[in-house]
Chains A and B, each alone.
Chain A
Amino acid sequence: MSKYIVSVIQNIGHRVIESIWRLGVGSRFFLLVLLKSGTSLRRFNLVIRELYFTGVLSLIIIVVSGLFVGMVLGLQGYETLQKYGSESAVGTLVALSLVRELGPVVAALLFASRAGSAITAEIGLMKATEQLAAMGLMAVDPVARVVAPRFWAGVISMPLLAAIFSVMGVLGGYLVTVVFIGVDQGTYWSQMQSAVDFRFDILNGFIKSCFFGVAIAAIAVFEGYDAPPTAEGVSGATTRTVVTSSLAILGLDFILTAFMFRGVS
């Protein structure tokens, strides 16, 4: 019996040590990527190539889901606000919830599953097929040549995608509430403009999406580089990228929101 308890505790300890160790390796890898970004910034066409795959190809899903999220927000917001006779505030509701929270967070979740998983799978497969080792043999640093451009492409495209998501959402809300339901379009825009502050709402949302971009890109490249060089390893790493970055996004979002909108006392 006591043997069993000891083994359970050992198991817990082992897992904790393992996860802290991975966190440390991940942070060191993140610093390494930052240190070796010089090449990718000098040869910017490497980043542009990755921007095409992470940014441009994510556009469709971001635009469509932004539109639908905005339309649903408009519908639900109208249904609720109309009970209190304040359906003119629906523009404010849509814009504030998109700019502050839904834009950065949902765009980041979509980005993690659309682009983050692709980055991990690509790097992991390159490692499994020993392309990274071959690069090392040719005195080409795989971190500088393969990892850093993907990291920077993720960091650059995330805030842009979040902004596009928010704009599409506002348009979707406009489409449903003004065009279909018939809220006055002047009140939709003017209530929105008087409630949404540039520094307080839009800039904070932008900063959030930058943080999310760094987190997703860092997790994706680390999981890919760290993946065991087998088919199973790569698939596991891809799953871990999506799970870890989604959790990281939500956790970071809570912390950032607490700092931005409650202030530090």
Chain B
Amino acid sequence: MQRTTLDLWVGIFVIIGIAALMILSLKVGNLNLSGSTQSYVITGNFENIGGLKVRAPVKSAGVVVGRVTNIQFSTQTYDAIVTMDMDSRFLFPKDTFASILTSGLLGEQYIGLSAGGEGVMLKEGDKIMKTNSAMVLEELIGRFLFDKASE
């Protein structure tokens, strides 16, 4: 085969391959070309995290504003310390309320933030004071039965 046609075909092949990689990262994945966004880290103590996992989204009003980066157990307070990586475009007041919610009936769990009214904003390394645990189905049913019985 002629050298130039060979080069042409291989060129087309490599371009298609690189284009496939680009499509995978941009269209299928969630890579942002607008540069790596600045972030700040905050933590929160939860009594029960249910099925929350690392890399679960942190949402406020349904919009993803950060991600869970680490979950640890504290031996001092016997609860879970959840570390969140927040997009620094979104600042939240100090008295923001964090609760663990479930998307849909069987969906994944995420952290929902509802902003408070204080003027001071959360910054790097701060801790969310007001948290709400995950809803555990057994506890809920137990409470329901208990209420029914006492009626």
Instruction: Please report the C-alpha to C-alpha distance between residue A197 and residue B106 in the assembled complex, in whole angstroms.
Output: 21
Tally of chain B residues near chain A (CB < 8 A): 28
- A45 near B3 with CB under 8 A, answer yes
A48 touches B21 (CB 8 A): no
Give Cα A202–Cα B24 distance, bound, in whole angstroms.
Answer: 7
For B23, list chain A residues within 8 Å (CB): 167
> Which partner residue on chain B sits nearest A167 by CB separation?
B20
Interface residues of A in 62-113 (CB under 8 A from B): 84, 86, 95, 99
Select which of B7, B24, B31 is within 8 A of A48 by beta carbon.
B7
B25 at the interface (CB under 8 A from A): yes
B78: interface (CB < 8 Å): no
| Cα distance A169–B106 in the bound complex, in angstroms | 27
Q: How many A-B residue pairs have CB under 8 A?
A: 86
- Residues of A with C-beta under 8 A to B104: 86
**How far is it, in angstroms, between the C-alpha of A139 and the C-alpha of B84 when the chains are bound?**
63
Interface stretch of the complex, out of A20-28, A51-59, A239-247: A51-59
Is B6 an interface residue, CB under 8 A from the partner?
yes
Q: Chain B contacts of A40 at CB under 8 A?
A: none
- Taking a contact as CB atoms under 8 Å apart, the answer to whether A164 and B7 are in contact is no
B18 at the interface (CB under 8 A from A): yes
Interface residues of B in 1-29 (CB under 8 A from A): 1, 3, 6-7, 9-10, 12-14, 16-18, 20-21, 23-25, 27-29
Known contacts: A157-B13, A197-B55. The answer to whether A95 contacts B28 by CB under 8 A is yes
- Cβ distance A159 to chain B, nearest Cβ, rounded Å: 8
Q: How far is the CA of A198 from the CA of B32 in the complex (A)?
A: 9
CB <8 Å contact, A48 and B10: yes
Q: Give chain A nearest CB distance to B57 CB in angstroms.
A: 8
Q: Which of A51, A84, A167, A170 contacts B13 (CB 8 A)?
A: A51
Mask: chain A, 153-176; 1 = CB below 8 Å from B; 0 = not: 000010111011011001000000
From known contacts A99-B28, A193-B30, infer whether A164 and B106 are also in contact, taking CB-CB under 8 Å.
no
How far in angstroms is the closest Cβ of chain B from A204? 11
CB atoms of A52 and B106 under 8 A apart: no
Chain A interface, >50% SS class: helix
Question: Whole-angstrom distance between the alpha carbons of A193 and B57 in the complex?
Answer: 13
Residues of chain B within 8 A (CB-CB) of A160 are: 13-14, 16-18, 20-21
Of chain B, the residue at the smallest CB distance from A201 is: B29
- The residue that B106 contacts in the complex, of A55, A86, A166, A206, with Cβ under 8 A, is A86
User: In the complex the two chains form, is A194's CB within 8 Å of B30's CB?
Assistant: yes
Are B30 and A52 in contact (CB-based, < 8 A)?
no
Check A163 against B17 for contact (C-beta < 8 Å): yes
Q: Are A164 and B29 closer than 8 Å at their CB atoms?
A: no
Report whether A56 and B20 are in contact in the complex, using a CB–CB cutoff of 8 Å: no
Q: Which residues of B contact A (CB under 8 A)?
A: 1, 3, 6-7, 9-10, 12-14, 16-18, 20-21, 23-25, 27-31, 55, 57, 64, 104, 106-107
A-B pairs with beta carbons under 8 Å apart, 8 shown: A45-B3, A99-B24, A163-B20, A164-B17, A166-B28, A167-B24, A194-B64, A197-B55
8 more contacts with CB within 8 A, not counting A59-B16, A161-B17, A196-B29, are A86-B104, A86-B107, A159-B17, A193-B28, A194-B30, A198-B25, A198-B30, A201-B29
